[in-house]
Amino acid sequence: MKTIVSPINFRKDRLPPGQHWSNKLHILDIAGPPDIDLSQYRFKIFGAVDKPITLTWDDIQDLEKVRLIADFHCVTRWSCPDVEWVGFHVNELKKLVNVDKNVKAVMVHSLDGYTTNIPIEYFFDEDVVFAYQLNGRPIPADHGYPLRLVVPKLYAWKSAKFVSGVEFLLEDKPGFWEQRGYHMRGDPWKEERYSL
């Protein structure tokens, strides 16, 4: 299994402005974790692609595994260093569907109704994974079981929990928190917490 260490862990300014280190991942949700039966779980890839597809949990387990080591930065000002995730790299999606060359962003959909948008250049980055393990164990329910997107270069609200699908968009549009005043991109080193 390939190990990826996020480039953010090697920055001279590793701790973004306005953040403090924490020794754990704190739990913040819009609702409690949904009940999930893995035999019924489906992951949809749709939008501006040639042929939308739906993966089962078994399909996901067949994708090439990677380990990601990355700091995790929450907009509420805490950061947790060197979190270990195991899952599959987002580039696996490119092997499953042809993405329209004019795609500007993705909308990530979650089982609890949550959504978040991510610019395409951040989504298809070297250190972005869909994770199903956290620190050597299956992701706990309150951290996103069964599947969580991890986008280390953006604030943690972009690392959606309970992921059920990815929609490729020809125009960027706001997700759940972005509609409520959070920044459309969310770069921690630029303190892109809120829209102006």
Please indicate, yes or no, if residue 57 is contained in any of the structural domains. yes
Give tens-digit pLDDT for 55-68.
Answer: 999 999 999 999 99
Report pTM.
0.95
Give the span between the Cα atoms of 43 and 56, in whole angstroms: 6
Please indicate, yes or no, if residue 183 is contained in any of the structural domains. yes
Give tens-digit pLDDT for 112-168.
Answer: 999 999 999 999 999 999 999 999 999 999 899 999 999 999 999 999 999 999 999
Please indicate, yes or no, if residue 8 is contained in any of the structural domains. yes
Please indicate, yes or no, if residue 121 is contained in any of the structural domains. yes
Please indicate, yes or no, if residue 32 is contained in any of the structural domains. no
Please indicate, yes or no, if residue 176 is contained in any of the structural domains. yes
Number of structural domains found in the chain: 1
Q: What is the mean pLDDT of the chain?
A: 95
Identify the helix (H) or strand (E) that includes residue 3. Answer: strand 2-5
In which domain, by residue range, is 57 found?
2-25+39-190
CATH number at residue 149: 3.90.420.10
Sheet holding 42-47, edge to edge: 53-56, 42-47, 163-169, 105-110, 115-119
Please indicate, yes or no, if residue 196 is contained in any of the structural domains. no
Please indicate, yes or no, if residue 33 is contained in any of the structural domains. no
Task: Look at residue 152 and give its three-state secondary structure.
Answer: coil
